[in-house]
Amino acid sequence: MLAVEVIGQVLRRRRPLDDAFATHQGLRGLDARDRAFVRALASAVLRHLGYIDAVIAKLVREPIKARDAVAEDILRLGIAQLLVLETPPHAAVSATVALTVALNMAHMTGFVNALLRRVIDEQETVLAEIDRTRVAIPDWLWKSWVGTYGEPATQAIAASLRGEAALDLTLKDPATTDEWAQKLGAVVLPTGSLRVHDNHGRIDALPGFHEGAWWVQDAGAALPAKLLGPVTGMRVADLCAAPGGKTMQLAAAGAKVTALDRSAGRLRRVSENLARVGLVAETVADDAAFYRPPRPFDAILLDAPCSATGTARRHPDVLWLKQQGDIDAMVLAQDRLLDAAARMLTTGGTLVYCVCSLEPEEGPERITRFLARDRRFIRVPIRAAEVGGLTEMITPQGDLRTLPSHLAELGGIDGFYAARLRRVS
């Protein structure tokens, strides 16, 4: 029941899954295991929503009426149990029909029961005709990615989004990599992050959490801060800093960090994370577009707000919450932030701009336009050696571009774009 309510909040109220899950009153009384189970159910539906809805469309003559939207979500959950979670058919059908009654959709029980039984009967015939890779991505995103990366790469991206993302960790002290890899049973990725597979327990129960030896950060998200190079003793701004992974990287590398974010609440989380790992940074609650530092910074990392389409491995809801209009609004804010960051940087300083988006409008197009209007800056190409020797992550222009399908044999990586610029005059 709770999973259906969370799904409804995401798909109809257009709330991110994390927000819907964190604020649901009914989940607060559950223990950690039951909460994890509810989230697993909701995530399974959202991760495979394109396929699930294609199955419904294949078997239903007319769209389900808006007044029966709850029944549609119940049906989605039932199909996810049958086709994704491989729940025994009898258990999946009976539980789904019972849920239909419990959620005041009793008039739909016959419909739900009949359709689920057709899913079971026609799974290897009618439903086998569905191109599961193609329906996994909304049309507008598919067209964008094919136009940018080509169809084979887009198919590889879509395939990479089917599975749960592993747990990635960034170490406070990279010199202890082998030690913590052994303690955690982790794989050391070429980029330096530790990857823990099959972790289904509490994060704070893992070795090293309370010692502050590491923090959770996708391997893709850990790359942009490294592109600033040696930062010991330098004044570095981390703009749009929350939740603080990049701030901690820079502080651990010896920088004097100013972590700036317009959300005071999110900054408190940054401070809490810094305290746990024993690192120090100045935190400033302000809008980076209007902030004026007492004096220019030596280096700036701008992790700009974006559509976050590159994070769909971890946040499957993002594919269904975003639309082209969201991208159009984002680019205006990204331009303002780039211009503001340029004003904060000293001559000779380095600016790294990054977004966790796969959309060209939010990445290379923003840098092309910025360099055209601000002649004080030049692009400083990124070398493959800086990202673990992974040449496929370096664009012809010398920028960083990770795709979810990169490192596929190790479980993939979040999609990021980053460009490194230097102020020369």
Say if residue 174 carries a ligand binding annotation. no
Confidence bin at 33 (pLDDT 50/70/90):
confident
**92 and 146 part of one domain:** no
- Return the structure tokens found at 150: 């080509």
Say if residue 303 carries a ligand binding annotation. yes
Say if residue 296 carries a ligand binding annotation. no
pLDDT of residue 81: 96
Number of domains in the chain: 2
Say if residue 226 carries a ligand binding annotation. no
CA dihedral 283→313→204→17, nearest 10 degrees, is 80
**153 and 77 part of one domain:** no
Q: Which of 130, 145, 180 is at the close of a domain?
A: 130
> For residues 193 and 253, what is the distance between their CA atoms, to the nearest angstrom?
15
Confidence bin at 129 (pLDDT 50/70/90):
very high
pLDDT of residue 201: 72
**90 and 233 part of one domain:** no
Per the listing, tokens 């220019």 go with 296
Q: Which of 130, 157, 180 is at the close of a domain?
A: 130
**280 and 415 part of one domain:** yes
Average the pLDDT over 176-180 and give the result: 97
Average the pLDDT over 15-25 and give the result: 89
pLDDT of residue 294: 95
Q: Which residues are catalytic?
A: 356
Range of the domain at 209: 137-425
Cα distances (angstroms) measured from residue 171 to each of 180, 241, 253, 384: 8, 18, 11, 21
**197 and 315 part of one domain:** yes
Beta-carbon contacts of 273 under 8 Å, excluding residues fewer than 6 positions away, are 215, 243, 244, 245, 248
Say if residue 241 carries a ligand binding annotation. yes
Per-residue pLDDT at 27 exceeds 90: no
CATH code of residue 10 = 1.10.940.10
**114 and 141 part of one domain:** no
pLDDT of residue 279: 98
Say if residue 243 carries a ligand binding annotation. yes
Say if residue 360 carries a ligand binding annotation. no
**63 and 195 part of one domain:** no
pLDDT of residue 28: 80
Beta-carbon contacts of 204 under 8 Å, excluding residues fewer than 6 positions away, are 210
> For residues 380 and 97, what is the distance between their CA atoms, to the nearest angstrom?
59
The pLDDT tens digits of the residues spanning 41-75 come to 999 999 999 999 999 999 998 889 999 999 999 99
Mean pLDDT for the chain?
A: 95
Contact predicate 78/112, CB 8 Å: yes
Confidence bin at 126 (pLDDT 50/70/90):
confident
The candidate with the shortest Cα–Cα distance to 398, out of 413, 382, 410, is 382
Confidence bin at 200 (pLDDT 50/70/90):
low
Per-residue pLDDT at 167 exceeds 90: yes
Per-residue pLDDT at 24 exceeds 90: no
Say if residue 306 carries a ligand binding annotation. no
**160 and 102 part of one domain:** no
**249 and 309 part of one domain:** yes
Q: Which of 130, 157, 182 is at the close of a domain?
A: 130
**223 and 301 part of one domain:** yes
**105 and 167 part of one domain:** no
**273 and 313 part of one domain:** yes
CATH code of residue 251 = 3.40.50.150
Confidence bin at 23 (pLDDT 50/70/90):
confident
Q: How many CB atoms lie within 10 A of CB 24?
A: 16
The candidate with the shortest Cα–Cα distance to 177, out of 210, 139, 208, is 208
* pTM for the whole structure: 0.94
Q: Minimum mean pLDDT among 55-69, 245-259, 284-298: which range? A: 55-69
Say if residue 233 carries a ligand binding annotation. no
